[in-house]
Amino acid sequence: MADSDDKQQPKMTSSFWFDEEVTADHSMRMRMTSLKYDKHSQFQRVQVVETVPFGTTLVLDGKTQSAKNDEYVYHETLVHPALLLHEAPKRIYIGGGGELATARECLKHKSVEEVVMVDLDGDVVDVCKKHLPEWNDGSTEDPRLTVHIGDARSYLVEGSDTFDVVVLDISDPIEAGPAVHLYTKEFYDLVRQKLNPGGVLVTQSGPAGLMNHTECFGAIHKTLAASFRTVVPYSVSIPSFGSDWGFNVATDRGDITSKSLREKPPDATDAAISGRIRGPLRHYDGGTHLCMFNLIKAVRDGVEAEDRVITEANPVFMY
């Protein structure tokens, strides 16, 4: 008979899990290996967790903001289509962007001379510098970048600066969250005044999947369309978000249309990337561009049918 020490040990079935609700009735559950940071800032709960599928992950008020294994998908999708729409963007404004990855992507453009980033929560910026250094990737050492801690709207109201591209990398419009007023028609009218001729605005726009695109994606598009001549919605799959994710790009230029972006030849996008961006991209190219700008029918129909315009008096919240 074998010695008791040689017996097969029982399988361990207990572990720590990170559970995030995508909707009221749907959640994602991930094995968590460590909780690196968990504190309340002046504005929100800030967490940095380590999960098996997604690696180091920034979580604000219970919502994943970006994860190591797919953050580049989100940030390349947010930044490059908008900057490449402008002929030669020199001055960029980033509202939010605490992880510093949006700044990282903007600074890859050869024409960019100055990036001004304004994030409300200095604690988030500091936490990301310490725990998410890959997101930064040296952008804070680039003399073209200036980071201000403060309200993104107040900076535009109080300043006289104008910009070629405005990139809104802000928290989701969650009720009582810090960024709700940055999704309103009043704010988009302000941004429009701060754009130079030919300027472009792009904003992250919440969930855009089959089951959740009606939360705020269409309403953000409708609101932008009340302020800008042309607004084009697009989306990308981001696994750590548990959904396809939406974006809207807006401009008053008459030569840009939804059709021109949906049918842009892949070779043209690839040539622009090669000529205007330093270094290779991991996600965005000509083929990916077509996937992003050609929404599935249900989401297209939902955006088309949307009639909500978000205002200070009538906000729209996502779950």
Residue 13 scores a pLDDT above 80: no
Residue 78: inside a domain:
yes
pLDDT-derived band at 1 (thresholds 50, 70, 90) equals: very low
Three-point CA angle 271, 295, 288, nearest 5°:
25
pLDDT digits (tens, 9 = 90+) for 177-208: 788 999 999 999 999 999 999 999 999 999 99
Domain co-membership, 63 together with 83: no
Domain co-membership, 174 together with 45: no
pLDDT on residue 112:
98
pLDDT on residue 8:
61
Domain co-membership, 191 together with 98: yes
What percent of the chain lies above the pLDDT cut of 90?
87
Which of 130-134, 177-181, 253-257, 276-280 has the least mean pLDDT? Answer: 177-181
Residue 154: inside a domain:
yes
Alpha-carbon gap, residue 228 to 249, rounded angstroms: 10
The chain-wide mean pLDDT, for the chain, equals: 94
Domain co-membership, 160 together with 39: no
pLDDT on residue 220:
97
Residue 234: inside a domain:
yes
- The region, left, alpha or beta by phi > 0 then psi within -120 to 50, assigned to residue 176 is left
Q: pTM, whole model, 2 decimals?
A: 0.93
Residue 56 scores a pLDDT above 70: yes
Strand (E) or helix (H) holding 101: helix 101-106
Alpha-carbon gap, residue 100 to 310, rounded angstroms: 28
Three-state DSSP class for residue 26? strand
Residue 12 scores a pLDDT above 70: no
Domain co-membership, 39 together with 148: no
Question: pLDDT: is 1 or 23 the higher one?
Answer: 23
Beta-carbon contacts of 134 under 8 Å, excluding residues fewer than 6 positions away, are 68
Residue 4 scores a pLDDT above 60: no
Residue 5 scores a pLDDT above 60: no
Enclosing domain of residue 299: 71-305
Q: Looking at the DSSP assignment, which residues form a beta bridge with residue 277?
A: 109
> Residues with catalytic annotation?
169
pLDDT-derived band at 6 (thresholds 50, 70, 90) equals: low
pLDDT digits (tens, 9 = 90+) for 278-315: 999 999 999 999 999 999 999 999 999 999 999 999 99
pLDDT on residue 2:
47
